[in-house]
């Protein structure tokens, strides 16, 4: 049985992972807040609810040495490209969407 992921479940799971990384690095909330430049109040809300701005999430990831994980977030892997046509199409990226 596959679990259906929702934005809320992903958000909460992400906050648990950040907290786990913080604890594995033996950092207090204040220590991570100081190193990342994110306020302690924002960090507490994030760890409790999973709500945080993208900018603050990136700051936390950077402070925990995980910023590179965001580099591959929306990229196609080489396994997903199945033909030369797809590879050439990948090089010509769309500049606008058509659907309103």
3-state secondary structure of 95: coil
Where are the chain's structural domains? 8-71
pTM for this entry:
0.74
Q: With H, G, I as helix, E, B as strand and everything else as coil, classify residue 97.
A: coil
Which residues, other chains included, contact 78 with Cβ-Cβ below 8 Å and sequence gap of 6+? none
CA distance to 18, 32, 48, 64, 100, per residue, from 25 (Å): 11, 9, 19, 8, 46
Read off the pLDDT of residues 28-76 as tens digits, 9 standing for 90 and up: 999 999 999 999 999 999 999 999 999 999 999 999 999 998 888 887 6
Tally Cβ neighbours within 10 Å of residue 98: 5
Confidence tier at 11 by pLDDT (50, 70, 90): very high
**Alpha helices (runs of H) in 25-83, residue ranges in sequence order:** 29-36, 40-49, 54-63
CATH 3.90.470.20 fits 8-71, yes or no: no
pLDDT (tens digit per residue) in 76-88: 665 555 666 666 6
């Amino acid at each position: 049985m596959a679990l259906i992921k929702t934005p809320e479940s992903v958000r909460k799971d992400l906050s648990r992972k950040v907290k786990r990384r913080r604890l594995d690095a033996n950092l207090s909330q204040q220590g991570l807040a100081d190193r990342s430049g994110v306020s302690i109040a924002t960090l507490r809300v994030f760890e409790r609810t999973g709500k945080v701005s993208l900018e603050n999430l990136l700051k936390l990831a950077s402070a925990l040495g995980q910023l590179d994980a965001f580099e591959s977030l929306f990229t196609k892997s080489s396994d997903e490209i199945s033909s030369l046509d797809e590879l050439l199409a990948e090089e010509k990226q769309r500049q606008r969407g058509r659907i309103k």
